Structure 1
Amino acid sequence: MEPSSSGLQHDGRKRLSKTTANRENSEETKGIRRDMHDAVTKGDIDQVQKCLNEEKDLRQWLHPRTEESAMYTAVKTRQYKIYALLVSRNCRLSQDKEEKEGEYFIEVNPLGHLEIEYQLHSFLHRCPTVARLVGKSSSKGPHHGFEKKVEELYQKLEKIPIVNTILQVVATSAFIEI
């Protein structure tokens, strides 16, 4: 089964800002990245959530030693619920190992693909539209308070019925970036 036919799409093609990219494998975030991978491997979704809440800017969550992404680790260890949580928080595959990590999805058995689809559907529909949109939004340069301003804008737009419908479509699309 091809990754695209099962809805396994990632925002991996979107390049990270230099500041965020540096944090993805900096000494400063090494401990929490290790904690994230330990939690993923153990299936500790509460600890994964804590890591995500503590470091909101990280998207790849690279393992300090192997530099594999947390999403890859989740699929490799069959932690599909955690994988769906990571997708709902706009995490992505390793930019440097995207091809290798992406190919692993092809090796997932059909039952695994069904479980991934189920978990993705479950998480994405519980996640507020505004939260999904903020994670998909980007700026041409670093701006202090960007996420807060964008969140406020989406909250205002969400109150307009026709615009809210469009926002929901954009929020659930794996192909659209803002």
Structure 2
Amino acid sequence: MKKNRRLVQIIVLFAVVLLGGYTIGNAVFGSKDDLPKIGERPPDFALLGTDNKTHRLADYEGKALVINFWGSFCPPCVIETPEFQRQYEKWQAQGKPFEIIGINLSEDQLTVNNFVEKFGLTYDILRDQRNKIERLYGVRSYPTTFFVKPDGSIMDIYVGGLTEEEIDRRIEKLLQF
């Protein structure tokens, strides 16, 4: 009986280790097939903006759209923020069907409001308070920027900081569609 108990314990331990390894491996290295890709539509969202209104992806339908995931703790995000603002002003002044959305990654309202005020941001700033949208979009590094064509498909996904010239070039290409 003692011999069989030992064997059962070893089998149970092996099963637990195997199942745990599978679960962890799947979480870390699991399929990324459901993450947005170039040519596909980005996942829908409903997020509260600094204007205290709920914004949905559908609100921007038919417009060239830049979706920028950022945080005030991220040096490249801080550097590119004024560049996004200048691009927003430039293309809005030309009357182009274009919008920028900045999605903040789980920072508190005061921090976000201070950041918006410091840089005089006039494009929509939304808050992903539980990082749900960040995960849905597969954001792993900050900043990450999605460039969405007016037809609603993703033209480009850029991970890392962008220069104003790079932003301008991508927006110009977006507006050609």
TM-score by length of 1: 0.26
More strand by share: 2
Give TM-score scaled by structure 2 length: 0.26
Structure (1 or 2) with the larger CA radius of gyration = 2
Relative contact order, CA 8 A, sep 6+: which one is greater? 2
